[in-house]
Amino acid sequence: MGLFSWAASKCRSIKNAVSNVIDKVKETVSKVWNAFTGKYYTDEAEAIYDEINEKYKKSKIEYEDAVKIMGENIESKISHLNNFKSDIYQNHFKRFITIASRLHNVTVQGVPFAELFDDSILEIKNETGVSHKQDLFLIDFNKMGFLDTAGMILTLGFFSRKKAKESLEKVKQEQIRVNAEIEAMKSQQKKLAVIAESIDNVVEYFEQLIANYEALLARFEFGIQTQRFKKMSQADNVFELKLNFKHMPIVHIEEFQALFNLSIVLKQMATLGYLNAAGELIEDDKKAAVSLFEQAVALKVCA
Amino acid sequence: MSDNTKYNQPKLTTEDVLAKLTNASPLQASRVLIDMELHDQRSSIDILEEIYKDFEAKEDVIDELVTPMGLSLLDSIITHKDLKLNRTGLTASRVWHEIKGFEYSKVAIATSSLSSKLQLEGLRETDPNKRGNVQAHKLTKHKENSTNSDGAIINEIDGDRLLRADEADSTLNAVNTDHLESADAYHRKFANNIFLTDKDMKIIVNHDDNLASISESQNKSKGAGSFSEINQKKIELEKRFKSGTASPKDRKKLDEINEKFSEGSLQEGIKLENKASKENLKKSQQAAVNNALNNKVEVLGKAGKQAAEQAGFQAIGHAVILFIKPLFYELNDAIKFGIDKGVGMGSTMEGLQFRFKRIAEYIKTEIIPTLVQGVKDLVSNFLKVLIEGILGLVTGLFKSLMRIVSEGFSALVGAFKILRKSEEEMSSAQKADAILKLFASTVVTFVVFYFESTIMSAIPNNFIKDIALALLSGVASTIVIYILDKADIFSTKAELRTKRVKDIFEMRIQQVKENTDAFEGASIEKLAKDRLQFRAISERMTNAIDNDDNVNSSISDLADFMHIDLKIKSTDDFMHLLSKQKTLVVN
């Protein structure tokens, strides 16, 4: 047993050693072969190509997600603004005209501007992804026929090496170009965040000012009503509706002035586009504007 | 390296962003922000393509390699110990400048370059208008010789009868002796020629061949100009009449010319003029060479023992430089546009043959005739040998391309090592020089071997052999570099291209980063400020409303904040508006 086992183990170790040598030879030969043909250039190019593809894909997904989220965010804000705009015309201005009519006729010009959200303005133009592999690789060692290989040996690997090297350089250039694209995407994401923030500001302007406008209107209405009661108690003709501004306490005139000027500000805000000039006039509001005007005229006739 | 500005991204600074936002209403902030460009809209693929195109333009190869090579070649000729052309005020860079400006279409200049440039400008002050240039006695003699038995002199351009001034009744029939090539024009051309003495020039310009009898009025019209100039003017005036753009003044001018010069006389004058000018050139060259050979002139003011031989050598040296011009023109052109494609030929050999034929033709028609016998023989033989030599050399180089590549392998490796050195270590001129020397030790050995065994033995003078070898090694090195550049064995071009792409895109990326930082920083700050400012105003407004205070001042602040112009600023204004307008309009 001893002898056999010794012999067997010797055999095994020889076998291992031989196979190690063969591996080594294989490895060396393939190294030399790759250097000779220039395949190691394309191997490197492949690695870089995969890396940029991966990197670009990741950045692109990140970018697209960001654009989608921020786009939706901005879109909802824009529709919020559109609501504010039509609300200003349909409710607040209407109320102001009605209340003010006790004192003086008021009309509001223009119509609210309903902004259309077009997400293309938030996107980068002329963006180009990673080029196709066959546009970058001038040689494919994996798809080489016998004739190609023979030709390669005969030309001392001269041309294959050159092509492989040039492919590598092309991929390196592509890497640099794609980096620039990624940077543009990153920059665009930051830009979008800032734009969203600027819209936030506008939303706040609308909210606050509309609240103030309402409060001021309430104060003004109360003042006018008080004056009317006062007047009614003094006058014989209870149907006399119009108040003479000249007999009004100055505080109510100041309120009227404040409302008038604040209406001008709100009117500007309601007729403005915030992302771009593209949008449409709200048809209903146009009608509303006409009817508001007619209402005012009618009140005037009444007075 | 070439200009990068066309690849620049737009630049955005914090100040720009703040200024744009501050100038607009806070209501418009989003639109202003959207409109700001953090990077241009050019596609990166387009930019990559443009970089490729720029890279192919090849100007750099010529500037970086061929120029210093040409300069060192010229320098070796100019400073050659036997020629000493540098003593005549010639420098390699000046000649190179001329070579770069060389074009076949401008060959007419070549003759004058032999007369003025070649003959060493700036060595002598010129005074073309000096009165002493005209020798009155010769004019008188010319008149006497031309007078017929009846006392009249025949006008040489129109055949009219002319009389001496005291017998004539007007300037129309008074005789004047005209310098066909004016003394002024001749001196402008030749006064710089150190091989010509003042006396030579006087003799030539006042020679019978350069004189003609014309009428006084004709002579007055011509002045220091020429018949061809008058003819040119005439044609131009006539053209104006045809197109209907002539003024009354033009009519007067044309009438004057027609009155003085009858039909055909200008053409006759031009014929005489051209003939005289040719004669003058011939005489000048003859005189210059005689002077040079007979040691009549002091070259550079140095009367010398070696002057005679020296001047003769210099004449040859100048002729060689004349020859270099088309030669380098072809080399540059071949590198820029391709040996064959640049001249519309199908193969490299055809292209080469065409190019050398063109050089030979140029030399035959433009250089050789301007030289005088002796120098002419020597130079034409030399050039013939040289052109044949270069053709053989180029053919040889192309035929044994692989041999050169393999034999010169170590030189190549060395050359690339040199090329890879940074600018601080070695300037491009130094690099080219080093490479030239490197090749001189390999390629040129081959060339010299080839020539010594074939043609060189036919060339007698030692210094000519030196020049020939310098020329050949220059051409050979340029061609080898051209071939290397074309073959681009180590794909250095691709590598250099990547470097260029990297430089440009990195610059662009950096700018986008800076722009984005400026944009983000400035706009976030401004938006926060706006928000705070608005909140303060709004809060005052709310408080005033709640406390039954006057709200108007806060509304006026609000309008200012939003850049909205309120017409009604005070309660008085408002009262006035109420009393004036039946209906208030919110607009």
- pLDDT at position B88 is 65
A192 C-beta neighbours (distance < 10 Å), count = 22
Banded pLDDT at B68 (limits 50, 70, 90): low
Contact between chains at A209 and B558 (C-beta distance less than 8 A):
yes
- Which residues on B lie below 8 Å from A199 (Cβ)? 30
Residue B586 parent element (H or E): strand B583-586
Residue to test with chain B: of A44, A243, A261, A297, most B Cβ within 10 A: A261
Contact between chains at B524 and A194 (C-beta distance less than 8 A):
yes
More confident residue, A269 or B196: A269
Model pLDDT for residues A179-229, shown as the tens digit of each residue: 999 999 999 999 999 999 999 999 999 999 999 999 999 999 999 888 888
What is the CA angle B395-B401-B405, rounded to 5? 145
Contact between chains at B586 and A260 (C-beta distance less than 8 A):
yes
| CB of B534 less than 8 A from some CB of A | yes
More confident residue, B215 or B65: B215
- Pick A126's closest partner by Cβ from B43, B497, B584: B43
- With CA atoms as reference, the chain A residue closest to B527 would be A198
Banded pLDDT at B543 (limits 50, 70, 90): very high
Q: Which of A129, A139, A164, A131 is nearest to A36 (CA)?
A: A164
Q: Is the pLDDT of residue B452 over 70?
A: no
Q: Is the pLDDT of residue B58 over 70?
A: no
* φ, ψ for residue B427, nearest 5 deg: -75, 165
Banded pLDDT at B294 (limits 50, 70, 90): low
CB pairs under 8 A between A and B: 218
Say if CB B450 and CB B392 are below 8 A apart: yes
Say if CB A221 and CB B43 are below 8 A apart: no
Distance, in Å, from the CA atom of A194 to the CA atom of B110, rounded to the nearest integer, reads 68
- Which residues on A lie below 8 Å from B519 (Cβ)? 190-191, 194
Q: Which of B563, A79, B545 is nearest to A87 (CA)?
A: A79
- pLDDT at position B171 is 80
Contact between chains at B571 and A177 (C-beta distance less than 8 A):
no
Contact between chains at B527 and A194 (C-beta distance less than 8 A):
yes
Q: Is the pLDDT of residue B530 over 90?
A: yes
Contact between chains at A104 and B584 (C-beta distance less than 8 A):
yes
Q: Which of A127, A122, A125, A124 is nearest to A75 (CA)?
A: A122
- Pick A275's closest partner by Cβ from B27, B30, B534: B30
Q: Which of A70, A102, A86, A97 is nearest to A231 (CA)?
A: A102
Model pLDDT for residues B237-248, shown as the tens digit of each residue: 888 888 888 888
The yes/no answer to whether this complex scores an ipTM above 0.85 is no
Structure tokens at B359: 């050089």
Contact between chains at B515 and A188 (C-beta distance less than 8 A):
no
Terminal CA-CA length for chain B: 60
- pLDDT at position B302 is 34
Banded pLDDT at B182 (limits 50, 70, 90): confident
Q: Which of A107, A79, A89 is nearest to A210 (CA)?
A: A89
Which B-chain residues 31-60 have CB contacts (< 8 A) with chain A?
31, 33-34, 36, 38-39, 41-45, 47-48
- pLDDT at position B544 is 94
B313 C-beta neighbours (distance < 10 Å), count = 21
Furthest-apart CA atoms within chain B: distance in Å: 130
Residue to test with chain A: of B17, B489, B555, B565, most A Cβ within 10 A: B555
Residues A20-26: contacts with CB within 8 Å, 24+ apart?
A: none
- Pick A264's closest partner by Cβ from B535, B571, B586: B586
Distance, in Å, from the CA atom of B40 to the CA atom of A276, rounded to the nearest integer, reads 19
Distance, in Å, from the CA atom of A157 to the CA atom of B31, rounded to the nearest integer, reads 59
DSSP state letter for B299:
B
Residue to test with chain B: of A174, A183, A255, A275, most B Cβ within 10 A: A183
More confident residue, A21 or B20: B20
Q: Is the pLDDT of residue B318 over 80?
A: no
Q: For chain A, 303 residues long, give each residue's pLDDT as a single digit of tens.
A: 455 566 666 656 666 666 676 676 666 666 666 666 777 888 888 999 999 999 999 999 999 998 889 889 999 999 999 999 999 999 999 999 999 988 888 999 888 888 888 777 777 777 788 888 888 887 777 777 766 666 666 666 667 777 888 888 899 999 999 999 999 999 999 999 999 999 999 999 999 999 999 999 999 999 988 888 887 777 665 555 677 888 888 999 999 999 999 999 999 999 888 887 655 555 454 555 555 555 555 555 444
- With CA atoms as reference, the chain B residue closest to A217 would be B545
Q: Is the pLDDT of residue B66 over 70?
A: no
- Pick A262's closest partner by Cβ from B31, B497, B555: B555
- Min mean pLDDT across B50-64, B101-115, B124-138 is at B101-115
Distance, in Å, from the CA atom of A76 to the CA atom of B28, rounded to the nearest integer, reads 18
- With CA atoms as reference, the chain B residue closest to A162 would be B491
Place of tokens 């370059």: B113
A82-110: string of b/e by CB count within 10 Å (b at 16+)?
A: bebbbebbbebbbbbbbbbbbbbbbbbeb
B97 C-beta neighbours (distance < 10 Å), count = 11
* Closest approach of B43 to chain A, Cα-based (Å): 5
Contact between chains at B34 and A165 (C-beta distance less than 8 A):
no
- pLDDT at position B120 is 38
| Highest mean pLDDT out of B16-30, B269-283, B447-461 | B16-30
Structure tokens at B312: 């003769």
Distance, in Å, from the CA atom of B357 to the CA atom of B337, rounded to the nearest integer, reads 18
Place of tokens 């303060």: B536
- Which residues on A lie below 8 Å from B43 (Cβ)? 126-128
What is the CA angle B514-B519-B522, rounded to 5? 115
Query: Over chain B, what is the mean pLDDT?
Result: 75
Residue to test with chain B: of A98, A203, A264, A274, most B Cβ within 10 A: A264
Domain ranges in chain A are: 39-302
Contact between chains at B494 and A274 (C-beta distance less than 8 A):
no
Model pLDDT for residues B486-495, shown as the tens digit of each residue: 666 556 677 7
Place of tokens 């590549």: B405
- pLDDT at position B137 is 82
* Closest approach of A285 to chain B, Cα-based (Å): 16
More confident residue, B346 or B302: B346
**A281: β partners:** A113
Contact between chains at A177 and B541 (C-beta distance less than 8 A):
no
Distance, in Å, from the CA atom of B309 to the CA atom of B303, rounded to the nearest integer, reads 12
Distance, in Å, from the CA atom of B174 to the CA atom of B219, rounded to the nearest integer, reads 10
Q: Please give the radius of gyration of chain A, using alpha carbons only, rounded to the nearest integer.
A: 40
Q: Is the pLDDT of residue B112 over 50?
A: no
Banded pLDDT at B327 (limits 50, 70, 90): confident
Banded pLDDT at B299 (limits 50, 70, 90): very low
What is the CA angle B559-B561-B567, rounded to 5? 25
- Which residues on A lie below 8 Å from B489 (Cβ)? 158, 162
Place of tokens 């008085």: B572
Banded pLDDT at B191 (limits 50, 70, 90): low
Contact between chains at A202 and B571 (C-beta distance less than 8 A):
no
Q: Is the pLDDT of residue B180 over 50?
A: yes
**How would you class B26 by CB atoms within 10 Å of its CB: exposed for 0-12, middle for 13-18, buried for 19 or more?**
buried
- pLDDT at position B312 is 59
Say if CB B207 and CB B171 are below 8 A apart: no
Banded pLDDT at B551 (limits 50, 70, 90): very high
Share of chain B above pLDDT 90, in %: 13
Structure tokens at B57: 């333009």
Contact between chains at B551 and A191 (C-beta distance less than 8 A):
no
Distance, in Å, from the CA atom of B421 to the CA atom of B433, rounded to the nearest integer, reads 14
Model pLDDT for residues B338-376, shown as the tens digit of each residue: 777 777 777 777 887 788 778 777 777 776 666 655 566
DSSP string, B153-172: EE-TTT--EEB-TTT-SSTT
Distance, in Å, from the CA atom of B587 to the CA atom of B584, rounded to the nearest integer, reads 9
The 3-state secondary structure of B123-190 reads CCCCCCCCHHHCCHHHHHHHHHHHECCCCCEECCCCCCEEECCCCCCCCCCEEEEEECCCHHHHHHHH
Q: Is the pLDDT of residue B216 over 50?
A: yes
- pLDDT at position B487 is 61
